[in-house]
Amino acid sequence: MSALELKGVTAGYGHAAAVRDLDLAVSAGEVVALLGPNGAGKTTVLRTAVGLLAPSAGEVRAFGRPLPRKVEKNSREGVILVPDSRAIFHQLTVRENLSLARRHRARDLDAVLDRLPRLAPLVERRVGLLSGGEQQMLALAKALLARPRVLLVDELSLGLAPLAVQELLPIVRTLADESWVAVVLVEQHVDLALSVADRAVVLHHGRVALSGSAADLRADREAVRQAYFGGHAPEDALV
């Protein structure tokens, strides 16, 4: 059974569909990179997968059950979105930000900080004083406190230097490997994303332009490039 499954999903804003007839399944312990140019529909997929947007066609299932309409409920089920807005308060300290996250015990916080050792010495620091990479670690920490079983990560590396990205993405891989979390990773850094993902899907104009194992896509960057520009690879190219 898939941890997360989108079947024939069409979703968008008003009358405009931003994603059309999308199939996507992610298993526990698997990292799927969701790639594609700006405006391809990546964020829309994540919003639909967490229940922020209702699909106009198709369905979303988490652990075999239809996704409830309420985001709150989905977060209790363990479907957690790390939004591209980061959703953290710059005037507050790291600890204060984390204390606003969903109700948790002190030892949950300790466990999360164990996973993010770079954040541990910064807990009393105001978030506005952190580097971009440290702020993203905080965004991840908030998500981890919610005990994700399905983690949807939207451009964690937005605006970060490649070095910071190299530090962040392996954390997501470890979560999948050690805690059996199903991860959808939206990323602009294609090579880095493919280096931690098991599979990848390239969206273009709301449709799947290419999908395959991360290893196959790494070996055929030309196909990935074409998919970014809207070319469709031959059916059997990479699957």
Ligand X SMILES: Nc1ncnc2c1ncn2[C@@H]1O[C@H](COP(=O)(O)OP(=O)(O)O)[C@@H](O)[C@H]1O
- Binding partner of 39, given ligand X, Mg ion, none, CB within 5-8 angstroms per partner class: ligand X
User: Residue 225 in 3-state DSSP?
Assistant: helix
Binding mask 24-63 for Mg ion (x = CB under 5 A): ------------------xx--------------------
CB of 164 to ligand X, least distance (A): 20
Identity of the residue, 46 or 122, whose beta carbon is nearer to Mg ion in the bound complex: 46
CA distances from 189 to 71, 77, 94, 135, 144 (A): 28, 30, 27, 18, 23
Of the candidates 165, 169, 237, 221, the residue with the CA atom closest to the CA atom of residue 197: 169
Is residue 89 within 8 A of residue 100, CB to CB? The reply is yes
Is residue 205 within 8 A of residue 17, CB to CB? The reply is no
Identified binder of ligand X from the candidate list 3, 24, 43, 184, rule CB under 6 A? 43
Contact between 188 and Mg ion per CB under 5 A: no
Tokens of residue 85, six digits? 């807005």
Among the residue ranges 38-46, 111-119, 163-171, 223-231, the one whose residues contact ligand X (CB under 6 A): 38-46
The contact set with ligand X (CB under 6 A) reads: 13, 18, 36, 38-44
Residues binding Mg ion (CB under 5 A): 42-43
